[in-house]
Amino acid sequence: MKLRKTGLLIAGIAAASLMLTGCSVSTTPGGGSGSDGGAGSGEISIGFSQATQQSPFYVELGEGVKNAAEESGASLEYVDANGDVTKQNNDIEDLITRGVDVLLVNPVDPQGIAPSIASAKAAGIPVVTVDRSAEGTIAHVGRDNVAMGKLVGEAVRETLGDAGGKIIEIQGDAGGTVAMDRSEGFHQAFEGDDSVNIVMGPYAEYIRANAVTAMQDLLQSNPDVKVVYAHNDDMALGALQVLRESGRDDVLVAGVDGLMEAVDAIASGKQYIATSLNDPISLGSTAAGVALAAAAGEDVDAETDAGTELVTADNAADYVGDTLFAESK
């Protein structure tokens, strides 16, 4: 397998962040989270620091956390870092000041949030990470992103067969563990296969609009591309949009996360060939459950793997539904 990088820049950033529907958020220390009261009211208070809302996955992840908090009678203090690690550190420090019982963090940068995790530890507040792990926390809830990338890579390799060809990889975020793991797993599927040339595209931050811009440039510089693999389905669908607008229905597409729009495309049997499941609502709910247990002083597993499944044309019809992301069977 041959590997090379391109130095293309992404022009423009996606528009405003989506709001977490239905969650009342306190913006002042001690202000609480809705009418049930917040930190210090006698109920367990979860401080949830979200990395971003600029992707359907993260919106749904937040919904999963919110739903689990409501069902358990806990209050939720929600803050959105909007992709800015400095803001995330400040947000977490603010949650510590508010006196939350436990912190649930989806890190922008696992290394970059080390100062705020240290502050939480000094304050005696347990920290649980979700989706992306970080050092210094008591627990992590996520999925095996290496396995997810490898499952998709194996499906792509089987589809290409002995012919091989050029694959463009549109990446998530620079330095992010999810992006690195999904890349690693995908590449593992092609170890020893010299018929495949993987071209590393730019970081599109898991945002469809960024992937559209990136794919327009990538297609011009790589007209011989056979497959586009993106680190999430939202970016893969952006690439698919460009390919179809350019009349390139000969180029196959694959992603990760099980976004229902992608599952529908796979079920149609045209162009989109594979994704692996990463239901964010169930992930958020599981993470909130671990956080609540930690806040109650219970022993929790250091690692909780929520599992995944491969979706291809052979089984996509089984996963089609009215949810935003496909659910595991």
* Percent of the chain topping pLDDT 70: 87
User: Six-digit token pair at 14?
Assistant: 């996606």
Among 30, 92, 67, 37, CA closest to 286:
67
User: Looking at the predicted structure, is the pLDDT value of residue 33 above 80?
Assistant: no
- pLDDT attached to residue 42: 60
Rounded Cα distance between 199 and 186, Å, is 13
Rounded Cα distance between 161 and 8, Å, is 29
User: Looking at the predicted structure, is the pLDDT value of residue 41 above 80?
Assistant: no
- pLDDT attached to residue 329: 76
316: three-class secondary structure by DSSP: helix
User: Looking at the predicted structure, is the pLDDT value of residue 300 above 90?
Assistant: yes
Residues 65-75: what's their mean pLDDT?
Answer: 97
Rounded Cα distance between 58 and 67, Å, is 14
Residues 52-63: what's their mean pLDDT?
Answer: 91
- pLDDT attached to residue 164: 95
Residues 186-200: what's their mean pLDDT?
Answer: 97
More confident residue, 14 or 106: 106
For each of the domains in the chain, give its residue range(s) and CATH number, in order of start: 45-143+280-298 (3.40.50.2300), 144-277+311-318 (3.40.50.2300)
Q: Virtual CA dihedral for 154, 155, 158, 164, nearest 10 degrees?
A: -80
Q: Which residues contact 268 (CB under 8 A, 6 or more apart)?
A: none
User: Looking at the predicted structure, is the pLDDT value of residue 81 above 50?
Assistant: yes
User: Looking at the predicted structure, is the pLDDT value of residue 29 above 80?
Assistant: no
- Sorting pLDDT into bands at 50, 70 and 90, what band is 125? very high
Residues 248-265: what's their mean pLDDT?
Answer: 97
